Amino acid sequence: MAYLKDQRRETMMVEGSWNIGAYRYKGSTQLQEYVDGLKEKKLIGSLCPGCGKVIVQPRNICGRCHRRMDKRMVVSHKGTITCFVISPPIEKGKYKIIGIDPVEAGIIQEGAILVPVFVRFDGADSNINTILLNSSPEQVHIGMRVKAVFVENPEGKLSDLEGVEPLKE
């Protein structure tokens, strides 16, 4: 194959940009219903009248039945961990998300070990991605029973649900 070059020379570098700040996306208001629920420490999901699946956080359309999920359901605070991952101790300058270093910004403590989990709350047919609190990486396992942890004074924001913690039944 003739075009395979062994010796390469650099070309000139031409700068360009892509202005993505100009987009005006249209969002739906289903999340409003969800956060209104959080304010009352309720977890609201959407119920499909076709297949009966309950999806938390609520979504608009059930692809299985190709119809709107216009009914709402409240699911339990108790749930089960279906999956987890464990971070190494978080160090300064290692990760950047949307240009922010979480340690530098004081959002996560240096050396902390995070355990993001998938939780399926009782009554839901979907997972929620959140954080395991008040536990340790040694304790976490699939099938672990947990309950939702809310902030003290919920204001109707997504951050009202802080995470989940082990449940003693």
Partner 1 sequence: MLRNAAIIGCGQTKHSGRRRDVSQAELVSEAVHNALEDAQVSMKEVNALVVGNMQGFGGVAQPELWIGDWIGAPGKPVLRIATGGTTGGSVGQGGFYAVMSGLYDIVVATAWEKHSDSKEAGATTGLLHVALANFFHAFGYGLSMKNLLATSAVGAAAGVAAYQARFYMHRSGCRSEHFDMVAAKCRRNAARNKYAHLQWPNCTPEDIHKTDVIVHPFRMGHVCPASDGASAIVIACEDIALKKCQRPAWVKGLASYSDEENQMQSESGGGVGVLDPSEQMGCRLSAMKAYAQAGIKDPQQEIDVAEIYQPVPSQELFFSEKLGLFDEGKAWIALEKGETEINGRMPCDPSGGVNATNAIGSSALQRILEAGLQVMGKAEDHQVPKKVRNAVAHGWGGVTNYVTVTVLGETPAPRR
Partner 2 sequence: MQRRVAIVGYAQSEYQFDVPRTREDQVFDVVKAALRHAGILREEVDSVVTASSDFLDGRTISNVFLSMAVGAYQKDESKVEEDGTGALLYGLMRILAGTHDVVTVEAHTLASTINPHQILFYALDPLFDRQVGLLNDIAASAIQARMYMKKYSVPEEAVAMVSVKNLANAALNPLTHRKMPDLTVEEVLNSKIYYEPIRELMIPPITDGVCALILASEEKAREITDRPVWIEGVGTCQDHYLRERNLTQLESLQKAAAQAYEMAGIKDPYREIDVFEVSERFAHEELMISEALGLAREGRGQVLIEKGLTGLDGEIPINPSGGALSADPICATGLTRVIEAAKQIREEAENHQILGVTRALAHGQFGICAQKNTVFILGGDR
Which residues bind to partner 2, rule: CB under 8 A?
14, 16, 18-20, 22-28, 60-64, 66, 68
Residue 33 main-chain phi, psi, to 5 deg = -60, -40
At residue 75's C-alpha, the angle toward residues 78 and 50, to 5°, is 140
When the beta carbons of 18 and 169 are compared against partner 1, the nearer one is 18
Of 87, 147, 149, 150, the one binding partner 1 by CB under 8 A: 87
Of 71, 83, 104, 134, the one binding partner 1 by CB under 8 A: 83
Query: Smallest distance from the beta carbon of 12 to partner 1, in angstroms?
Result: 10
Query: Smallest distance from the beta carbon of 11 to partner 2, in angstroms?
Result: 9
Interacting residue ranges for Zn ion, rule: CB under 5 A? 48, 50-51, 62, 64-65
When the beta carbons of 41 and 68 are compared against partner 2, the nearer one is 68
Asked if 60 interacts with partner 1 (CB under 8 A), we say: yes
- Which residues lie closer than 8 Å to 43 by C-beta, 6 or more apart? 37, 56, 74, 75, 76, 77, 121, 124, 148, 161
Q: Could you write out the three-class secondary structure of 118-153?
A: EEEECCCCCCEEEEECCCCCCCCCCCCEEEEEECCC
Return the one option of partner 2, partner 1, Zn ion, none that residue 19 interacts with (CB less than 5 to 8 A, by type).
partner 2
2 vs 19: CA distance, rounded Å = 39
